[in-house]
Amino acid sequence: MNYSRKDLTQTDATMNQMRNAVYELARFMEKNGITDVKVKLREMGRNIAKTYIRYWKPTDQVNNTNLKDVITTIYQKVLVSSVSIEINQEEKTIRVRDYKCALCKYHYDDLEVAGCEIILGMVSEIINLINRENTAFSSVFLEPLKVEQSQAYGNKVCIQLYKYKIGERD
């Protein structure tokens, strides 16, 4: 089957091939001396977001009142995932607990990187792109911090951590 990019945003295409490819790519990069694999995977996620947002976006603005819903929608719609989200307003962090991470189904002993690095880059970039044109002081901007836990590391769930700013662009 040949899908257009628009078709892919409206289909429940399987993630198996993508997941397998991510870990083979990580192995290839490590084998060839690339030391910033996490950075490269996050960059890949940002590039996916730049393409994806042309065909679908969950809202026209992300602010403090809809932030949790928007993140949940992105994980559900794009990754077909089940998440819980904690927002720490003091530390300005967002912790996403992903129970069905599309990119981290298996434990990999030979790798020090998780596929959710791509998700960190993609989710933060989708939200930043939505708010890029907004001048509202309430717009939220995300920065990927780290993968705290991952099924790829042998954990039961994946936990991604983001830093957020309100009304401040980089």
Region 66-74: what's the mean pLDDT? 96
* Max avg pLDDT among 28-32, 56-60, 157-161: 157-161
Picking from 76, 36, 42, 59, the residue whose alpha carbon sits closest to that of residue 130 is: 59
Is 49 a residue whose pLDDT tops 90?
A: yes
What is the CA 67 to chain-centroid distance, rounded? 14
Region 13-34: what's the mean pLDDT? 76
What number of residues does the chain have?
Answer: 170
pTM of the model: 0.87
Range in 10-19, 125-134, 157-166 with the lowest mean pLDDT: 10-19
Is 89 a residue whose pLDDT tops 70?
A: yes
Region 133-155: what's the mean pLDDT? 89
Homologous superfamily of 5-166:
Trafficking protein particle complex subunit 3 (3.30.1380.20)
Q: How far apart are CA 52 and CA 44, in angstroms?
A: 12
Region 61-77: what's the mean pLDDT? 94
Give the pLDDT of residue 51: 92
Is 8 a residue whose pLDDT tops 60?
A: no
